[in-house]
Structure 1
Amino acid sequence: MEKKLNGVFWCVGVLGLVTVVLTVHAITCEEAVQTLMPCKAYLTTPAPSPTLACCQAVASVNASASTTQSRRDLCECFKKKAPVYGVDPQKAKQLPGLCAVQVPFPCDPSVDCQHML
């Protein structure tokens, strides 16, 4: 199940959001996935809505994105991992809106990560 959460994150990467840049280095794909673990239940089960902890994680990853390349990298990461871990693409698309987090591109597995801003 923990692996399913990783896939969730393509959205947050494609929601996903996003690559997070810390003080010294850009967050890795695995670090972003770990940050988004509170979203696992919503993205991989019939849970009707994300938890507050999930939304806080989404906002944190999104707010930490600082460059076009970092967002592209995280987008690619989430696109690759989501299907492997059983993330529901429809729920991934809905997550930013449900959490009231504006992301710079759609959370959609068909998005072209290399052409996003």
Structure 2
Amino acid sequence: MGISTRMMVLCIVVAYMVVISPFAEALTCGQVASSVIPCLPYLQKGSPLPPACCAGVKGLNNAANSTPARQTACNCLKKIYNSNAGIDVGKAAGLPGKCGVNVPYKISPSTDCTKIR
């Protein structure tokens, strides 16, 4: 393989990585759910707040680093709320603060996720 062919292949690989990279890092509802599952006993039964919950909340906050990711996280949190009976709305709304995280929207089943930036 000549140098020009190698350079062309390298350019194609780099271009592919640039185009695909944003999609490979997209936040999924599975990731959101696994981040907040440790929080469910606290949110539903008032159990003590486990460290794994705050670790998940902080990780989720770091992963939701763009408008589309924050909107995805919001929609996923609403789905989790609606599919798990007995979640205390006040505890859910206060969870980021309890974990030392600033979330730019209210954690609530009534939040309009399309307005999150």
Specify every segment of 5 or more residues in structure 1 that has no aligned partner in the other structure, as ranges. Answer: 1-21
Indicate the percent of aligned positions where both proteins have the same amino acid: 35
Q: Deviations over 1:40-59 (max 9, x none)?
A: 21111122x42222111100
In structure 1, the residue matched to 2:7 is none
Q: Which residue does 2:103 correspond to in 1?
A: 103
Q: TM-score, normalised by structure 2?
A: 0.71
Bigger fraction of residues in helix: 2
Q: Does residue 75 of the first structure (1) align with residue 74 of the second (2)?
A: yes
Contact 1:26 1:70 in 2 (8 A): yes
Letter in 2 for 1:76: N
Amino acid at match of 1:52: P
In structure 2, what is the Cα distance between the partners aligned to 1:54 and 1:23? 27
1:114 correspondence with 2:114: yes
The question of whether the paired residues in 1 share the 8 Å contact of 2:32 and 2:76 is answered with: no
Q: Which has the greater radius of gyration?
A: 2
- Are positions 1:56 and 2:61 aligned together? no
| Secondary structure at 2:24 match in 1 | coil
TM-score scaled by structure 1?
0.71
- Give 1:65 shift: 1.1
Aligned counterparts, 1:30-41, within 5 A: 30-41=30-41
Structure 2: segments with no counterpart, 5+ residues: 1-21
Please tell me the root mean square deviation across aligned C-alpha atoms, in Å. 1.9
Matched pairs, number: 95
Higher relative contact order (CA 8 A, sep 6+): 1
CA separation in 2, counterparts of 1:30 and 1:24?
14
1:81 deviates by 2.5
